[in-house]
Amino acid sequence: MFIDSHAHIDGPEYDADRAEVILRAREAGVTTILNVGTGDPHSGAFERAAQLASDHKEIYAAIGVHPHDAKLYDDAAEARIHSLIAAHPKILAWGEIGLDYHYDNSPRDIQRQVFQRQLRAARVCDLPVVIHTRSADADTIEILRHTYQQTSRGGIMHCFGSSLELAQAAIDLGFYISFSGNITFKKAEDLRTIAAQIPRERLLIETDCPYLTPVPFRGKRNEPARVVEVARCLAEIHGNSLEEVGRITTANFAAIFRLQQI
Ligand SMILES: [Zn+2]
Ligand SMILES: [Zn+2]
């Protein structure tokens, strides 16, 4: 039993075979998928993510403005997210939000402002947050320490690929650390060393599909069924069985989102 805690299967990459993708996940033992809606907040992307969750028992949604799109964030976007959250109980988290200084698709000062605004907004509706951070460790730590301190529900550091220092800071603030297929890559020795130091009760697994397809499927489109490969890698690192990693990460996911039954 596994949970893919971060997937993007509402996008056009899956329009041709979404039903089969969901079925294959189920057959692989992936009981729950958190689908993250991203993109222009006024494009209908968030409504699409909410609808997908409404249509499928095993799918939940997170919505928020990605740091790439921070320049598109405005009062109307925030109001739209609030009203979708109020209307859809299966929207479990505000995200993904954060900082991406690798691509710099939005100016960094705007990214920082929008990250802080969304952290505060998530607190208003009492939801955990999903954090995307890349090449921005110091600012992420600082903003989480200052702005996040005021929020109550914790969250997920998704597709973790940052330093152990950032992982520790996030754990101290009540966050969970989610690893994706990049942990299986041959050159990811440093990341596996970090993963070994994350307490099991703070671990999560995800695909971030359609990206980051794990070994041995690299080069193909990723999908939630492949989260089992991430679990297999963590099982080796932590000296657990595959089943134990599935059980632990499922319990962790349920704890963050206060789900009674998954
Ligand atoms: Zn991301
Ligand atoms: Zn994502």
Q: Closest Cα to residue 184, out of 224, 135, 236?
A: 236
Model confidence at 260, pLDDT cuts 50, 70, 90, reads confident
Computed on alpha carbons and rounded to an integer, the radius of gyration of the chain in Å comes to 17
- Cα(261) to ligand 1 centroid in Å equals 26
What Å distances lie between residue 141 and 62, 64, 138, 157, 160, CA to CA?
A: 22, 20, 5, 11, 14
- Cα(158) to ligand 1 centroid in Å equals 6
Instruction: Classify residue 208 as left (phi > 0), alpha (psi -120 to 50) or beta.
Output: left
Q: Closest Cα to residue 132, out of 186, 88, 180, 87?
A: 180
- Cα(68) to ligand 1 centroid in Å equals 10
Collapsing DSSP to helix, strand or coil, 158 comes out as: coil
Please, how many CA atoms are within 13 Å of residue 253, restricted to the half-sphere of its CB? 26
Q: How far apart are CA 174 and CA 155, in angstroms?
A: 7
pLDDT at residue 151 is higher than 70:
no
- Cα(116) to ligand 2 centroid in Å equals 19
Model confidence at 148, pLDDT cuts 50, 70, 90, reads confident
> Does residue 224 have a cis bond before it (omega within 30 degrees)?
no
- Percent of the chain residues past pLDDT 70, beyond the cut: 99
The torsion angles phi and psi of 100, rounded to 5 degrees, stand at: -130, 95
The gap from C-alpha 150 to its chain's centroid, in whole angstroms, comes to 21
Q: Tell me the per-residue pLDDT of 81-93, one tens digit each, with 9 for 90 and over.
A: 999 999 999 999 9
**Nearest ligand to residue 102 Cα:** 1
Continuous segment of H or E residues that includes residue 199: none
pTM above 0.95, yes or no: yes
**Nearest ligand to residue 157 Cα:** 1
Q: How far apart are CA 30 and CA 56, in angstroms?
A: 13
Q: How far apart are CA 89 and CA 67, in angstroms?
A: 25
> Does residue 229 have a cis bond before it (omega within 30 degrees)?
no
The torsion angles phi and psi of 174, rounded to 5 degrees, stand at: 95, 15
- Cα(64) to ligand 2 centroid in Å equals 11
- Cα(6) to ligand 2 centroid in Å equals 6
What Å distances lie between residue 187 and 180, 193, 198, CA to CA?
A: 14, 12, 19
- Cα(29) to ligand 1 centroid in Å equals 24
Mean pLDDT of all residues belonging to the chain: 96
Task: State which residues have CB under 5 angstroms from ligand 2, the bound ion.
Answer: 36
- Cα(206) to ligand 2 centroid in Å equals 10
Q: Are 68 and 108 in contact (CB under 8 A)?
A: no
- Cα(261) to ligand 2 centroid in Å equals 25
Q: Tell me the per-residue pLDDT of 174-213, one tens digit each, with 9 for 90 and over.
A: 999 999 999 999 999 999 999 999 999 999 999 999 999 9
Collapsing DSSP to helix, strand or coil, 28 comes out as: coil
- Cα(237) to ligand 2 centroid in Å equals 24
pLDDT at residue 262 is higher than 80:
no
Q: How far apart are CA 96 and CA 62, in angstroms?
A: 7
Largest CA distance in the chain: 48
- Cα(244) to ligand 2 centroid in Å equals 25
